[in-house]
Structure 1
């Protein structure tokens, strides 16, 4: 069984972090290395985080005295990872037990892919559950330049992430999306499976790693960085998604801004927001 390194950046969210770590320990694939990078938590919290390494010898904890951001924390874990493969996990989210095993199997069945990913489940503060699963498909550069059809976490080869320089620390948001674009540009298409094996928690009061206030700057930076790769249709799609996810426009404004192919997306997101989903 190949060794898989799971990296988890965290700051001042011990209780949420512990849930994330326990979901790693519950994996059906047991050959894991779990690297927690504490990005400058308060001293009391860092003491608690250090205790996580006593739960299992597969867990290692890195403490940073000052916060440098989630991307830099991820990059530190990537630099020291021992696994042939890497998988990311946000500290407020969790894996389903079969996630690593199913993604490894998918990668082994598609060895020329640059990464593999899955659908995900969103749990909201109001107790609602939303499943995002767009089905199995190849994810090529053309598709990625229209929209982030991957999600926020993948499984890939450690060498691949190191080769592209890890995550861009200058991005205030959209760091994952930027990384997927660079992976596909460098190493070819990714592959998404039909399973939903990642749980996104919006059912807590803590700030998520990327919040609404940083999204606009992130989308603008991402667009400027990669627009040389985009055709006019892709640029229009990116402008639509920037409006969709950085503001809360009304239905008429959304439909007016949406390219024809994105009309259903605009309507779906608007209706989900009306009934309380934070997307």
Structure 2
């Protein structure tokens, strides 16, 4: 079995970090190394990781930044120290379904894509996802996957915030772009698909993203809008006119703007009709979606 490296950036979330790590240790795929990069945590994170290292010798690599350098730099540090054939990631407040890594490795071997990913679910209550997490899938079910082409990805981030790919590919592309204030994951997936071709996505929910609004997350901050602007500028050469119109509508949605109807009409996107509909709903009903 090929070794899979799982990187986890963390800062001052030791209780949530335990949940993330435990979900990796519970994987049905055995050949996994876990790399934790601690962003100068001031809680008991070092002790928590030390306890795992003692219980699972050779399984963990612990890296620590003396000052916070951002999750993007933390991910890249892990990638620099990883030893696996494949690499995937996990945020410290999210967790995996037990069959996620095995599913992605099998999809990667079968389809030889640029990367493999799964469907994912945002949640705010642990109980919302317990039934999904506890369900077990047959090999035939996990073999079902859909293609994610570069044009489809340029309309929206259908891959989520984590994928599995070859470690060598991440390194060849220079890792995550540390100059991006947000959307570093989306930017990385676009670069992988542009360089290496079509990706594949499992049809099953095998990744769970904690959307607790009481904690700071990039998707709930103004960094998200700034990141999207840089994303558009960086990848404009790959985008069609319709895709660029779609991303302008996405910015309206993120900024909670209610633009004039003429601007909505000018940016109407056929391939990105969902973002157009979200702008219209917010314009006329004041309901912000996404």
1:59 corresponds to which residue?
Answer: 60
C-alpha distance in 2, partners of 1:125/1:277?
A: 21
1:236 corresponds to which residue?
Answer: 245
1:19 corresponds to which residue?
Answer: 19
Q: CA deviation at 1:265?
A: 5.0
- Mapped contact 2:37–2:62 kept (Cα < 8 A): yes
- Mapped contact 1:90–1:209 kept (Cα < 8 A): no
Structure 1 gap ranges (5+): none
- Mapped contact 1:11–1:39 kept (Cα < 8 A): yes
1:92 corresponds to which residue?
Answer: 93
C-alpha distance in 1, partners of 2:165/2:270?
A: 33
- Mapped contact 1:70–1:209 kept (Cα < 8 A): no
1:206 corresponds to which residue?
Answer: 215
Structure 2 gap ranges (5+): 133-143
C-alpha distance in 2, partners of 1:108/1:45?
A: 35
Q: CA deviation at 1:161?
A: 0.4
Q: What does residue range 1-279 of structure 1 map to in structure 2 within 5 Å?
A: 1-42=1-42, 44-57=44-57, 58-111=59-112, 113-124=113-124, 136-203=145-212, 205-208=214-217, 210-244=219-253, 246-249=254-257, 258-265=268-275, 267=277, 279=290
SS of residue paired to 1:228: coil
C-alpha distance in 2, partners of 1:27/1:168?
A: 29
C-alpha distance in 1, partners of 2:273/2:195?
A: 31
C-alpha distance in 2, partners of 1:218/1:118?
A: 23
Once the two structures are superposed, what CA deviation does each residue of 1:22-59 show, in whole Å capped at 9, x if it has no partner?
00000000110000100111164433343332342212
Distance 1:124 1:43, change over 3 A: closer
Q: CA deviation at 1:60?
A: 2.1
Q: CA deviation at 1:106?
A: 0.6
C-alpha distance in 2, partners of 1:121/1:268?
A: 20
Q: Which moved more, 1:222-231 or 1:120-129?
A: 120-129
Q: Which moved more, 1:167-176 or 1:227-236?
A: 227-236
Q: CA deviation at 1:107?
A: 0.7
C-alpha distance in 2, partners of 1:60/1:17?
A: 14
Return the TM-score normalized by structure 2.
0.83
Q: CA deviation at 1:229?
A: 1.7
Q: How many residues align?
A: 270
C-alpha distance in 2, partners of 1:126/1:278?
A: 22
Once the two structures are superposed, what CA deviation does each residue of 1:103-156 show, in whole Å capped at 9, x if it has no partner?
111111112x11001101221259766x9xxx9422222222222122111000
